[in-house]
Structure 1
């Protein structure tokens, strides 16, 4: 049997082996090529690390035993335990350095790596200088103990996440987000990625060179390709991997991790199908959209109602051109009723709602002329929770009736005059959670009195103009259609009646001095883009709002495409370009023709028709989905058997990724002596350097080609 002295000698000598290996691997870094079998050693790091932690901490305790110098047997046990811990620390450090060469990186890894090396070095120094003064040794042991704990904490952060240690005492309250404010990515998609994917794709652990803990990493993608491409399941790495069999080594999440639920799979798939936007709000999707239906139930307002649903035939009959009745959210019996169109409002139509009075939960009559109308019918709506009556000319008696509705939780009566009697009645509405009363004529004393009477209610008194300047909302542009034949009426409006709206029709941004001021509807008879901006005293000017309008012009007698569009984005072929149906910017898969490997080359003939002097192209831009302006547009005319260039343009490329949007490119033709026209749109051959997929080919998307005299 080996003597203690022999064990000590072996352990002391092996320490120098671990020191040498540690220096080699540390100094060589990524230049050192390790055999595959050593990866097994590296992956044993999480198993080995428990030994040095226990042995070292136990050995450190022996330095604190009073009079240990007079107890050689106990001292020897402590020293051997500490020496064994030093050896295990060396082995653990070597295994960790090997493991770090796989797919770990980041600031946490750096702290953990050098912390481990510092602990190993500290162990060696403390062991070989253990005969120093007791006070020095004890201070050093405390420092080493803290180093061991800190290094272990960083290691836990790599494996379990940065907040793993403190998670039990950190508040886990989840902010309730209103459905109207919920964003598809931030509030629906990202929580799924955080729960099921980020642990393997974050700072410190970036498998496949893919980071999912910030948007830049998502947009960049990994070494196997882009994480998502809008509307493209084949090239979206996310869709590929989550749909692989669970036993496939490329399936994500790995089979030893928590798997995606069916609902989560559907949400991620529908997100990509809907455009994979990182900014789009959930409510911008149509109510029948599957992603909306799956996700909307997660947000505030989607409370469960036990009452019976209304007759679908009654709901269908009540939906008119001036009134909308929809479920509060898909499959809910609760109804949301909204009136719109002041000129079409008929007070007697309010009595029609009696057939759904037990299901109405929200009622919006904003801007409807309610003066003189008896509102007592609202008392029959026994589940009414939210009432929107902004700018409706309410009278004191009507406000008194409203104050008697005991089920109300949200009341909006901004823009109505509130006298003292009305103020007293509103002060009795203890059930209110939110109250909107801006622009109601209340002074500071009235506001203070109301807030004191309703201490549990969140009251919005609106902008008081005291030293804070807010930005105006953008104007609203209303037009019956985007593509028209004769003339088109365009109306501009703004919720703040005193706001001044300025506009341009040449596509430039309006200014507050020289641009025309909107005062009455605008009638256009050409193709172009209206850009509008709102201004008001004590407010910042709004962001611009723009809208394209397209005059249908001359439809060619014959047309054909030299190259077919990509099979994924072919819509109805060349016919799509002249069907006068404007495609939606948010939906890439329908009604757009997409070209990438070949240019779009369109030949048109105007036999027996007037010759066009102007041509407009309706294009889609969405840099995040690789959809860019064409690198060049050329228009050629066939004259005496030869193609002659009549117009050309190279549209400017955005310096950053913007949201999906329609753009209109118009070119003037030099003459009308042609027999036929040939229009060529060349896709961008290389995406710009700032793009995550710089160097890849760009796409050109087009949905309409318009010719005018």
Structure 2
């Protein structure tokens, strides 16, 4: 059996081996090519590191035992334990240096790496100079203990995240973001990535050369391909990996990590299907979009209601041309009831709501003529939380009934005269969280009084624009459909009734002087685009808003594509271009034709049909997904066996990425003497320098081609 002195000698000699190997790997850096079996040794670093921590800290304790010099047996146990710890520290440092050559980078790695080197070097020096003055040894041992703890902390930051240690005592209060401000990526997708993915793909640890702790890293992708490609499940590495079997070594997250829930899987998939935008707002998605329905619940701060849901047949029967009854949010028993259409409002219909009085949580009668209507029925709404009664001609007696509703949290009575007796009643509504009192004839003294009576209530007295010029909201464009046959009615509106709405139908930006003023619905019979802006005195003009309208036009007798669209974006083939079904901008994997390697070349023959004088192309733009306007569009006509150019345009190129959107290009033809037409759309060959994938080929996406006489 080996004596302690022999063990000590072997351990001391081994120290110099570890020192030498550490110097070689440190000085050689990336130039050193290590065999695979050493990589296995490197990956044992997390296992080995526990031995030196325990042994070194235990050995350091022996330096603090009073009178240790007079107890040689105890001293020897402590020194050998410390020496063994030094050896394990050397082995652990070697394994760590080898592991660091794989996929670890960043500042935290540097601190951990050099912290480990300091611990190894410090324990070697402390061991060989252990006989110097006891007080100096104790100070040095204390410093070494601090270095061990710090190095361990940095190591935990690499594997578990930088806030791992303090996470239990940090505030976990989540900020509730308004639905109108929520971004699809930043507020819906990114939290999933942070919880399930970033621990292996961040500064200090970049598996697969993919960084997920900032957008630039996601846009760059990893060593096996792009992180996401809009609408492309096949080439999106994210979708590939999360859908692999859990036992597959490429499945993400790894099977020893927390897995994605079914809802998280669906959100990530719908994000890619909807365009994989890093900037798009959630509210820009259609209300029926699955991603919108999944994510919107989170931002409404929805509460759970324990009461039973109303009968679905009753709800369907209550929905009429003047009344909407719907769930507050998907799968909720709570109901949101709204009345609209002043001329169609029948006060007697309010009694119909008895069958759902237990489920109504939000109730809106804004602008309904309620003068003389008995509002006592509102007391039957046991769970009513929000009541909208703006501009309803209420009198003091009606407002008194409203003030007695003890469950209300939001009350809006703007546009109704509030007298002193009503104000006193409202001041007793301590349950209110929000109160809207625009245009209620309250003096400044009255406002101060009610604010003092309800200090915890957010009270909105209306807009005071003294000395401040604000920008107007954009107008609202209402049209029943985008593609129509005979004529289409377009309505423009604005929340501020005094705002002046100006519009254009020729593609130019409206101005406040020469553009037509909207006064009544616009009827169009052609294909085009309406652009509208709002103007008002003492306000800045709004941002422009636009909408496309497409006349069904002439459907060619024959048509054919010279080149097939990309196999991933072929919709229903060439017939898609003439099916008069407008595709959604947020879901371009379904009903758009996509071209990248080859141009879109469409030949059409009208035979005995009337010939078109212009052609309109419905296009999709989504720069983040590499979908750009075509570099050039040409229209040629076949005359006497020769193709002659009838029209040509090179659309302006975007200077930054915007959310997915449809646009319309219209070209007027020089003449209609042609026998056939050939339309060519050439994709941009190289994405611009500002793009994250500058130099790559762009896509052209088309869903409709319209010919008009």
Fold-level similarity (TM above 0.5): yes
1:203 aligns to what? Answer: 203
2:312 aligns to what? Answer: 312
Q: Distance in 1 between matches of 2:650 and 2:71?
A: 89
Q: Distance in 1 between matches of 2:466 and 2:144?
A: 58
Please say which of residues 579-588 and 53-62 is displaced more in the overlay.
53-62
Change beyond 3 A, Cα 1:301–1:66: closer
Q: Does residue 260 of structure 1 match 2:267?
A: no
Please give the residue correspondences for 1:35-54 in structure 2 after superposition, counting only pairs within 5 Å: 35-54=35-54
Please say which of residues 589-598 and 110-119 is displaced more in the overlay.
589-598
Contact map agreement 2:595 2:701 (CA 8 A) in 1: yes
1:262-308 Cα deviation digits (max 9, x unpaired): 33333333333344344455555555554455445555554343444
Q: Return the offset for 1:100.
A: 1.2
1:413 aligns to what? Answer: 413
Q: Does residue 542 of structure 1 match 2:576?
A: no
1:228 aligns to what? Answer: 228
- SS in structure 2 at match of 1:560: strand
Q: Return the offset for 1:643.
A: 1.0
Contact map agreement 1:369 1:392 (CA 8 A) in 2: yes
Please say which of residues 125-134 and 561-570 is displaced more in the overlay.
125-134
Q: Does residue 649 of structure 1 match 2:649?
A: yes
Q: Return the offset for 1:661.
A: 0.1
Q: Distance in 2 between matches of 1:156 and 1:469?
A: 52
Please give the residue correspondences for 1:1-12 in structure 2 after superposition, counting only pairs within 5 Å: 6-12=6-12
Contact map agreement 2:622 2:657 (CA 8 A) in 1: yes
Please say which of residues 200-209 and 338-347 is displaced more in the overlay.
338-347
1:115 aligns to what? Answer: 115
Q: Distance in 2 between matches of 1:469 and 1:121?
A: 66
Q: Distance in 2 between matches of 1:618 and 1:702?
A: 6
- SS in structure 1 at match of 2:569: coil
Change beyond 3 A, Cα 1:408–1:81: same
Q: Return the offset for 1:681.
A: 1.5
- SS in structure 1 at match of 2:399: helix
Q: Does residue 83 of structure 1 match 2:83?
A: yes
Please give the residue correspondences for 1:63-462 in structure 2 after superposition, counting only pairs within 5 Å: 63-65=63-65, 76-130=76-130, 136-177=136-177, 182-280=182-280, 282=282, 285=285, 289-295=289-295, 298=298, 300=300, 302-462=302-462
Q: Return the offset for 1:570.
A: 3.1
Change beyond 3 A, Cα 1:79–1:330: same
1:478-535 Cα deviation digits (max 9, x unpaired): 2333234555443332212343444444434445566555454445454333333334
Q: Distance in 1 between matches of 2:514 and 2:94?
A: 72
Contact map agreement 1:688 1:695 (CA 8 A) in 2: yes
Instruction: Give the gaps of 5 or more residues in structure 1.
Output: none
Q: Distance in 2 between matches of 1:155 and 1:439?
A: 61
- SS in structure 1 at match of 2:252: coil
Contact map agreement 1:221 1:692 (CA 8 A) in 2: no
Q: Distance in 2 between matches of 1:481 and 1:8?
A: 88
Contact map agreement 2:559 2:605 (CA 8 A) in 1: yes
- SS in structure 2 at match of 1:37: helix
Change beyond 3 A, Cα 1:561–1:349: farther
Please give the residue correspondences for 1:21-36 in structure 2 after superposition, counting only pairs within 5 Å: 21-36=21-36
Q: Distance in 2 between matches of 1:545 and 1:30?
A: 55
1:475 aligns to what? Answer: 475
Q: Distance in 1 between matches of 2:651 and 2:121?
A: 62
1:147-185 Cα deviation digits (max 9, x unpaired): 222111110011111111111111222334566655444
Please say which of residues 481-490 and 694-703 is displaced more in the overlay.
481-490
Contact map agreement 2:571 2:593 (CA 8 A) in 1: yes
Change beyond 3 A, Cα 1:36–1:376: same
2:580 aligns to what? Answer: 580
- SS in structure 2 at match of 1:634: strand
Contact map agreement 1:475 1:533 (CA 8 A) in 2: yes
Instruction: Tell me the TM-score normalized by structure 2.
Output: 0.91
Change beyond 3 A, Cα 1:47–1:572: closer
Contact map agreement 1:359 1:383 (CA 8 A) in 2: yes
Please give the residue correspondences for 1:659-698 in structure 2 after superposition, counting only pairs within 5 Å: 659-698=659-698
Contact map agreement 2:533 2:544 (CA 8 A) in 1: yes
Q: Return the offset for 1:656.
A: 3.0
Q: Distance in 2 between matches of 1:298 and 1:639?
A: 61
Change beyond 3 A, Cα 1:287–1:551: closer
Q: Distance in 1 between matches of 2:70 and 2:311?
A: 93
1:664-702 Cα deviation digits (max 9, x unpaired): 112232333321110011233444444444454432211
Change beyond 3 A, Cα 1:401–1:637: same
Q: Return the offset for 1:335.
A: 1.7
Contact map agreement 1:296 1:302 (CA 8 A) in 2: no
Please say which of residues 45-54 and 388-397 is displaced more in the overlay.
388-397
- SS in structure 1 at match of 2:698: coil
- SS in structure 2 at match of 1:549: strand
Q: Distance in 2 between matches of 1:138 and 1:442?
A: 76
- SS in structure 1 at match of 2:324: strand
Q: Return the offset for 1:366.
A: 2.6
- SS in structure 1 at match of 2:684: coil
Please say which of residues 650-659 and 137-146 is displaced more in the overlay.
137-146
1:233-276 Cα deviation digits (max 9, x unpaired): 22222222222222211112222222233333333333333443
Q: Does residue 627 of structure 1 match 2:627?
A: yes
Change beyond 3 A, Cα 1:139–1:447: farther
- SS in structure 2 at match of 1:30: helix
Q: Distance in 1 between matches of 2:344 and 2:71?
A: 101
1:604 aligns to what? Answer: 604
Contact map agreement 1:287 1:330 (CA 8 A) in 2: no
Please give the residue correspondences for 1:12-27 in structure 2 after superposition, counting only pairs within 5 Å: 12-27=12-27
1:309-346 Cα deviation digits (max 9, x unpaired): 33333322322333222122223332211223444444
Q: Return the offset for 1:561.
A: 2.3
Change beyond 3 A, Cα 1:482–1:292: closer
Please say which of residues 501-510 and 145-154 is displaced more in the overlay.
501-510
Q: Return the offset for 1:642.
A: 0.9
Contact map agreement 1:502 1:532 (CA 8 A) in 2: yes
Contact map agreement 2:605 2:677 (CA 8 A) in 1: yes
- SS in structure 2 at match of 1:15: helix
Please say which of residues 200-209 and 216-225 is displaced more in the overlay.
216-225
Change beyond 3 A, Cα 1:69–1:313: closer
Q: Distance in 1 between matches of 2:183 and 2:20?
A: 54
Q: Return the offset for 1:96.
A: 0.6
Instruction: Give the gaps of 5 or more residues in structure 2.
Output: none
Q: Return the offset for 1:363.
A: 1.4
Please say which of residues 157-166 and 415-424 is displaced more in the overlay.
415-424
Q: Distance in 2 between matches of 1:536 and 1:74?
A: 90
Instruction: Tell me the TM-score normalized by structure 1.
Output: 0.91
Q: Distance in 1 between matches of 2:654 and 2:397?
A: 57
1:556 aligns to what? Answer: 556
- SS in structure 2 at match of 1:586: coil
Q: Distance in 1 between matches of 2:27 and 2:501?
A: 66
Residues matched between the structures, number: 709
2:708 aligns to what? Answer: 708
